[in-house]
Structure 1
Amino acid sequence: MTLVEKDNIKKLEPEFGKKLYSVPESYWIFYNGIRTMGYMLRAKKSKNMSQKFIERIMLAVTEVNGCAICSYAHTKRALESGMSTEEIQKMLSGIMDDVPAGEIPAVMFAQHYADTRGNPTLESWQRIVEIYGISTARGILGATRMIMIGNTYGIPWSSFFNRLRGRPDPRSSISYELSMMLGTILTPIAFIHALISNLFRKPIINF
Structure 2
Amino acid sequence: MKSAFHKRVFTLPQLLRISLQAGVRLPLLGKALLLPATSRKLREQVMLACTSVNDCRYCAWAHTHLALKNGVDIEQMNALLASPDQPLANEREGIAMLYAQHFAEQSGKPSAEAKERLSSVFSGAEVREIHAYLYAIYFANLSGNTFDAFLLRLQGKSAENSHLLTEVISSALSAPVLISIWWAARSDRKVTLDSLS
Per the normalisation by structure 2, the TM-score is 0.68
Aligned positions of 1:27-42 closer than 5 A: 27-42=16-31
Q: Which of 73, 82, 94 is matched with 1:104 structurally?
A: 94
Q: Which amino acid aligns with 1:152?
A: L
Aligned positions of 1:117-156 closer than 5 A: 117-156=107-146
Aligned positions of 1:85-100 closer than 5 A: 86-87=75-76, 90=78, 94=82, 100=90
Match of 1:10 in 2: none
Cα 1:185–1:122, aligned 2, differ >3 Å: closer, same or farther? same
Match of 1:205 in 2: none
Cα 1:92–1:153, aligned 2, differ >3 Å: closer, same or farther? farther
Q: Are 1:79 and 2:65 counterparts?
A: no
| RMSD (Å) for aligned C-alpha atoms | 3.4
Q: Give 3-state SS (helix, strand or coil) of 1:119's partner.
A: coil
Q: Which of 183, 202, 205 is matched with 2:169 structurally?
A: 183
Residue range with higher mean Cα deviation, 137-146 or 63-72 = 63-72
The alpha carbon displacement at 1:109 in A equals 1.4
Deviation per residue, 1:2-40 (Å, 9 max, x gap): xxxxxxxxxxxxx96632330210111111012123334
Match of 2:148 in 1: 158
In structure 2, how many angstroms separate the alpha carbons of the residues matched to 1:26 and 1:92?
Answer: 30
Q: Give 3-state SS (helix, strand or coil) of 1:77's partner.
A: helix
Match of 2:104 in 1: 114
Q: Which of 57, 67, 90 is matched with 1:68 structurally?
A: 57
Per the normalisation by structure 1, the TM-score is 0.65
Q: Are 1:52 and 2:55 counterparts?
A: no
Paired positions, count: 168
Deviation per residue, 1:73-117 (Å, 9 max, x gap): 2122222323355456x2797467897332111111111111111
Match of 1:18 in 2: 7
Would the aligned equivalents of 2:152 and 2:158 in 1 still touch at CA under 8 Å?
yes
In structure 1, how many angstroms separate the alpha carbons of the residues matched to 2:172 and 2:96?
Answer: 30
In structure 2, how many angstroms separate the alpha carbons of the residues matched to 1:156 and 1:75?
Answer: 21
Would the aligned equivalents of 2:147 and 2:171 in 1 still touch at CA under 8 Å?
no
User: Mind listing any 5+ residue stretches in structure 1 that lack a counterpart?
Assistant: 1-14, 188-207
Cα 1:93–1:125, aligned 2, differ >3 Å: closer, same or farther? closer
- Percent identical among aligned pairs is 27
In structure 1, how many angstroms separate the alpha carbons of the residues matched to 2:48 and 2:61?
Answer: 10
Q: Which amino acid aligns with 1:60?
A: A
The alpha carbon displacement at 1:132 in A equals 0.6
User: Mind listing any 5+ residue stretches in structure 2 that lack a counterpart?
Assistant: 174-197
